[in-house]
Amino acid sequence: MAFTLRLSDPAPPVSVEAWRRLARRRLPDLAWNYLDGGADDLVTVNENMAGFLRHRLRQRCLTGVRAPDLSATMAGERVALPIALAPTGAAGLSHWTADVAATRAAERAGTRAVLSTASSYTLEEVAEATEQNHWFQLYPFGNRDKVGALIARARAAGYTALFVTVDVPVVGNREGERTAGMTQPWTLTPPRLLNMARRPGWLHAVFRRRRVAAVHYVERAAEAKAATLAGGLRRAIHGAGDDAIASAENQARYMQGDLHWDDLAWMRDQWQGPLYVKGVLDPDDAAQAVDRIGADGIVVSNHGGRQLDRTLAAIDALPAIVARVGDRAEVYLDGGVRRGTDVVTALCLGARGVFIGRPYLYGLAVAGEAGGAVILEIFRAELERALVLMGCPGVGSLDRSWLAQRPGDT
């Protein structure tokens, strides 16, 4: 094969970490700190990733495995790989195509996305722009009327599973966000404007939606704070005036502080499809969700280390929850998944599948939908290669027996 050197066409980044570095260069501090930051000292952010590194995989040879089966069933849907997109609010800070791009990228990879309550496009817009039925994440904000209305909208738009996030009774102490000016409510100040102006490519990437949606914007401008520049930016980020986010923003909180298990039982009654509780780290809570509320499953998650710092890494919390409810509920994990081998490890420890958050946002920030699709392809290729090298016929075979013991491991 002839070797040609084309300086104009550098090889695309080959790993999630390489996409991360590229995204960092594209985004102004404000957006970057929001996307990549976490609570307090980032202990949990870092342990989410480091936790995977403590495990070792078993390698069998001469097994003849060449094309391992990567398909799995997640939240009632057959997916091409056991990886789906976690909900992320204000994805429009990464790229104007935001949730629509992310959800389409998931479809291209044969999987699904969970749309955030704090999405940049309304749940109806995302449903219209995509082929498959996706899943909806619920922040139980406000009161039962509001939550009930949002659940009804999600059902009417065709979302098939509900993920109720329960780990935000108050927003975590994200000092990076605060220092960079990502406060709520949003106001546009000269320093912030200066910060954003340092990344003209980003301004273009975020504000392009405003031009595309100009008619819609003018129609609605009179109604809301969008009459101001700050309002315009907020709507560029948060989309076409989703009631949910407006309400959450006004209250500067995403969850009723006094939310209780009875409220969750009420939500269970409102939603007939599969329901998952996201943000559980304690086996007692997992048992409550499954046995008392009738949740179909749990997402073991610490919100990507953005809430309580120094709580357990997701991968470290997983085994006890699997031991407690794994025989009667679906257990998923998110937090710190950056490699195909991380996915393997989570599945060995009993997760049915995993969700990724920041990785696909890196993809969006660099290249919109195509970037999100490349990230999922990186995961798919890494997962496939890892299974071939392990000699494992498919993700359905992974269990603890595929973890190798190191000398000194108990």
Binding residues, as ranges, are 34, 87-89, 116, 137, 139, 165, 174, 278, 301, 303, 306, 334-338, 357-358
Q: Which of 55, 339, 358, 380 binds ligand FNR (CB under 6 A)?
A: 358
Q: Which of 165, 247, 311, 341 binds ligand FNR (CB under 6 A)?
A: 165
* Number of residues near ligand FNR (by CB under 6 A): 23
Restricted to residues 132-151, the positions that interact with ligand FNR (CB under 6 A) are 137
Which segment (60-68, 85-93, 152-160, 220-228) binds ligand FNR by CB under 6 A? Answer: 85-93
DSSP letter string, 81-137: SSEEEPP-TTGGGT-TTHHHHHHHHHHHTT--BEEPTT-SS-HHHHHHH-SS--EEE
CA distances (Å), origin 37, targets 73, 182, 306: 31, 11, 7
249 binds ligand FNR (CB under 6 A): no
What six digits make up the tokens of 316?
């470290």
Please write down the long-range contacts of 202-205, taking CB distance under 8 Å and 24 or more positions apart.
202/26, 202/27, 202/28, 202/31, 202/365, 205/26, 205/95, 205/96, 205/365, 205/368
| Degrees to nearest 5, angle at CA 298 with 296 and 304 | 150
350 binds ligand FNR (CB under 6 A): no
On whether the CB atoms of residues 110 and 81 are closer than 8 A, the answer is yes
Contacts of residue 228, defined as CB under 8 A and 6 or more positions apart, other chains included, come to none
What six digits make up the tokens of 386?
């890892």
Cα 29 from Cα 33, distance rounded (Å): 6
95 part of the active site: no
Which residue is associated with the tokens 């056991």?
A: 82
Cα 384 from Cα 387, distance rounded (Å): 5
375 binds ligand FNR (CB under 6 A): no
Which segment (19-27, 86-94, 100-108, 216-224) binds ligand FNR by CB under 6 A? Answer: 86-94
- CB nearer ligand FNR, residue 102 or residue 226: 102
| Degrees to nearest 5, angle at CA 402 with 401 and 407 | 85
Q: Which of 30, 84, 106, 118 binds ligand FNR (CB under 6 A)?
A: 118
120 binds ligand FNR (CB under 6 A): no
Q: Which of 68, 89, 142, 241 binds ligand FNR (CB under 6 A)?
A: 89
Restricted to residues 272-291, the positions that interact with ligand FNR (CB under 6 A) are 278
- CB nearer ligand FNR, residue 338 or residue 392: 338
Using alpha carbons, select from 142, 140, 137, 136 the residue that is nearest to residue 157. Answer: 136
| Residue ranges at the known binding site for FMN | 87-89, 116, 137, 165, 278, 301, 334-338, 357-358
Which residue is associated with the tokens 């009993």?
A: 350
Q: Which of 33, 44, 88, 311 binds ligand FNR (CB under 6 A)?
A: 88
Q: x/- string (CB under 6 A) for ligand FNR, residues 32-71? A: --xx------------x-----------------------
DSSP letter string, 42-54: -HHHHHHHHHHHT
Task: Indicate the residue whose CB is closest to ligand FNR.
Answer: 357
What are the residues binding ligand FNR (CB under 6 A)? 34-35, 48, 86-89, 116, 118, 137, 165, 278, 301, 303-304, 306, 334-337, 356-358
- Residues designated catalytic: 303
